[in-house]
Structures are given as C-alpha cells and as structure tokens.
A and B are shown apart, each in its own frame.
Chain A
C-alpha cells in the first residue's frame, strides 16, 4: 500500500481542480435545499405521521438528483485515462492495479460524502433558526446518514466498474445511470404489479433501496442492508480490478 496515499491524494485533487465537482456540489445542495424547504412547508400545512427526515428521503425529487450524481462523479475515473492514454503511464509505473482501483474508488466515495454532507446540515440548521421542537429524532438522522453512505458506496462502485469497461465517458455515465436506476426499480416491481406472489415480492424487498432507506430513516438499523451494500461494493470493485487486469491475461 505504498503508493495508495499518493494516488488517493492525486484523485481527490483532480476532482476539486475541475469545475465539475463544484458545479455538481452546488446544484445538488441547491436542489435539496429547495426540496427541504418545500417539505417543511408541506408538513406545516398537513399533518404527517412521518418525520421530516423520512419525508425528505422518501421524495422522488431527492432520488432523481441523487441518481444523476453518480454518473457525473464516476464517469471520468478510468474512461478519461483510457481515452487520453495516461492509463499506460499509470500502469507501467511500479504500482499495483489494486491500489489504483482502491485509490480511485475511495477518493470518489469521499467526494460523494462531501457532496451529500450539506443535506445533513439542513436539519440542525433548521432547528437552530426556528428554535422549534425537533421534527425528527436523532435515530432517524443518523440512520439515514448511514443509509446514504451505504447506498453511495454501492453506487460509486457501479460507476467505477462502468468507467473501467469503456474509454468513453458518456457510455460510462449511461451505464451507471441505467444500472443504478434498474437496481432502484427492483424495489418497485411489486407496486407496479410486475411481480406477483409472496416469494418474489419478499425476495425483491431485500434489494429495494427505497425500503432500506425507509427503515433506516425511521431509525431502524438493520444489519441486512449493511451486509448487502458492503458485500456488493466489494464484489464490484473486485470485478473492476479484474477488468483492468484482463489486458494482461494470456489467451
């Protein structure tokens, strides 16, 4: 792991040297700030059985912005290096491929966390400004933070793999978007009537991002989604490693 910190640092730097990271961060924060304000308004007009945290993360608006985020921050990871040819210089330096993959993945994960972090400042900020009684409990707050962390981990891994299979950033972005969406809609198959029978629908709820988020944003920390997202992320990152090493396979 000698070169990991050097690569990690370089990845992070190049993110924040490009305008893309700042634009994505600003827009994402703006979108969610606006959404947060609307949610507060809605809850003022109508009595809601759910907490503010639950309602915010249950909103389709939130997920839409959320899913667009991943293609944007992951598409350049490997695709850009392949297109420019810098991957050749990178992988002919005395560097392990695993360190390159991990550095890129973890740096992007950190970028993701920095981008979503402002959302979690909204709640204490709201409390502080209005001085009202908490519209949520700390369990819901930390539970949903954990949830977004886990889901982000998984989605960044999808994006990393997508970026490794192509030299075209646009294709990488589309692959990421499609697979993130497909995974999300697995949880809606039952609601849409696409699957029937209790075995199927029960199985699918295990994959359902929105179900995971529901339970976590109620402060219910279940170990199943934790294991699910962590293990799938590891699998995807391992596949990414193999994709990059595949050029060295002897046929």
Chain B
C-alpha cells in the first residue's frame, strides 16, 4: 500500500527526515512511533502530498506521490495533527462538503456521511456547530472526514492527542475496528496505543528509522537482562549470598520495605527462567515469601532503548551497533 524509498526532507539548514525507507502492506495497521520532533508529521505530510520530498520517492496505493498526487489523495483518508476543522460549519455540513470535495456526488455523499457519522458515533451531534464541540467530538469529526469516501488507506497523525483516558480507549477500539476494512498508518508517541492496536511498529528518531517490527519482536530483541522481584521477610545479607549462587542470576540488590519485609531485585540472564530455582531455594530454606514476580520488558523499554536522548547518544557505541543490527 505504501512504499517509501530514501525519502528525505530538508528545511533550510535542517534535515527533518533523513533518507527513510519502509513499506506498509495492504490490510496492516502500522504505528509510526517517535518522540516529538522526530519527523513523523513531516513524513505523513509528504505521503499525503501536502509537502514534497527533497529527495527520494514514495508511492501510495501504486501512485507516485509527486507525479500522481491527485490519484494518491483520492486513495488516502488523512487526519492531520490537531484535527483542523472549519469552526463555523455544522458537523453534517462539513462532512458533506468534504465528501463532495473528495469526488462524491451529492446523493452518494449524503449516504456516505450518514454512514461515517454512524461509525464514529456522531449522530447525536450532527447539527452542532463544530466550534461548540468538545475535543473528543472534534477528533471524531476528523476521523469521519478521513474515512467518508472509504479510502483504502487511512493516515492518522496523532489521533488520540489531547483526549482523556476514556476517549483514548474508545478511539483505540474504533481504530482497531477500522483496521478490518482499511490499511492504517497512525503516528503517535503514546506507546500503549501502539502496543494494543498495531501489528507493526516503525520507530523513527531524529529523521531516521531506528526499527521496524512487530511490538512483540521488538521487545524480544531487546538485549536487556531479565528482572525478578522477590519480597521476603528475612535477613537480607545471607539471602543475597544464596541467591547469587543460583544458575543464571547475575546480580542481586535488596531494599527494606515496610514491616520488616525486604525486596530483592534479581538481574538474570534473559535466556534462562530462574523462577523455579528461586522458588525451590525459598522452599528448602524455609523463607517467608509474599511475592515472586518477573518484570517483562515492555515496548516502552524498547522505545527508550532505541530512542536515546541526545546527551545520552554519545554514551555508548555498543547500543548503536545493536540498533543497527535491529534495523538491518
């Protein structure tokens, strides 16, 4: 559905997007993830023909974004960042205007608008003036606009930006539901959103693609040690000594918790699950235990690992090599 090759955008003296390449297949929901200012919006604006690339090419739905811009725009439903709408129009009026603009005949547009309002649960506010709508409703109007002409591809730029937790959950459900019919590319910096809705993640930072994979694979590829948390009522030092001797445990630290309990933090070799051994040790030693848990690495860890802050960047080249491995 989308093929991007060495796409580059340079603004005066600054490279916003630096020779990125990726693909989005038909029917995929792809999350475009990156910190603020990473070049997400610029990339999406190039794909929707609002801006042109300085170098490189991309095709959307089989059409070149530079040479066949009108065709590309016919096949894409785009919701820009912050959902700009005309505040003085009514919801139904606006959507009909947009549907007509996207090439639908008046009668066809009417039906399509009703359908889009239905999908986005806008029916109750269809005669409201857009300026009077809450942010959540505005977002839904933007989404209804994007999908009104049933495009094959939806490009949504930060669709849940500024919504409350409830609305975020609703729009997530909606996006998942839309994924059954459309190919979707959403940009976001909210990780949980990507983890729950997207089949694949493209991570971009400072204009460069750092990784492109399923969220599960990204987490798996993380070379970070496993972590086990153990909470027991025992004298810390002797316990620590015994725990370290276990196969696969690399390092143990402990801290005091309330009421004579101690929390032990075990760093382990990620390839070995040491929980069983830990439990037998606890059992045979007769320690009092109230928690044994392994903390799984999340997409957040992967993200933090891949997208280091600029001051941390120089820290180690080892990390860099790792990311290069992942990208290739």
Contact = CB atoms under 8 A, between A and B. Distances in A.
Given A14-B86, A17-B88, A89-B80, A94 B102 contact: yes
A88 B73 contact: no
Interface residues of A, number: 26
A250 B52 contact: yes
Contact of B101 (A17, A95, A247): A95
Interface string B46-68: 00111111100000000000000
A81 B81 CA distance: 15
Max count, chain A CB within 10 A of own CB: residue among B86, B97, B145: B86
Contacts of B26: none
B85 interface: yes
Contacts of B89: 14
Nearest to A248: B52
A88 B97 contact: no
Nearest to B157: A88
A18 interface: yes
A2 interface: yes
B110 to A, nearest CB: 14
A249 B66 CA distance: 10
A85 B82 contact: yes
Interface string B116-156: 00000000000000000000000000000100000000000
Contacts of A10: 97
A94 B74 contact: yes
Given A91-B50, A92-B80, A18 B101 contact: no
B78 interface: yes
Contact of B49 (A6, A14, A92, A250): A92
B51 A247 contact: yes
B84 interface: yes
A96 interface: yes
B103 A94 contact: yes
A207 B219 CA distance: 71
Given A85-B80, A94-B73, A6 B100 contact: yes
Given A92-B49, A247-B51, A251-B10, A84 B103 contact: no
Contacts, number: 71
A93 interface: yes
B45 interface: yes
B101 A7 contact: yes
B246 interface: no
Contacts of A18: 88
Contacts of A88: 45, 50, 80, 84
A3 B85 contact: no
Nearest to A84: B84
A59 interface: no
A141 to B, nearest CB: 38
A93 B86 contact: no
A137 interface: no
B98 interface: yes
A86 interface: yes
B86 A92 contact: no
A6 B97 CA distance: 7
Nearest to A91: B50
A91 B84 CA distance: 12
A96 B85 contact: no
B273 to A, nearest CB: 50
Given A6-B97, A86-B84, A88-B45, A93 B73 contact: yes
Nearest to A251: B54
Nearest to B81: A85
A94 B70 contact: yes
Contacts of A14: 86, 88-89
Contacts of B97: 6, 10
Contacts of A251: 10, 54
Max count, chain B CB within 10 A of own CB: residue among A2, A3, A6, A96: A6
Contacts of A247: 50-52
Contacts of A91: 49-50
A92 B52 contact: no
Nearest to A85: B84
B102 A92 contact: no
Contacts of B74: 94
Contact of B102 (A17, A86, A93, A248): A93
A153 to B, nearest CB: 26
Max count, chain B CB within 10 A of own CB: residue among A2, A3, A85, A93: A93
Contacts of A86: 84-86
A2 B48 CA distance: 20
Given A14-B88, A89-B98, A248-B52, 6 more contacts: A3-B103, A10-B97, A85-B80, A92-B50, A93-B73, A247-B51
23 contacts: A2-B103, A3-B101, A3-B103, A6-B97, A6-B101, A10-B97, A14-B89, A85-B80, A85-B81, A90-B101, A91-B49, A92-B48, A92-B49, A92-B76, A92-B78, A94-B70, A94-B71, A94-B101, A94-B102, A94-B103, A95-B101, A248-B52, A251-B54
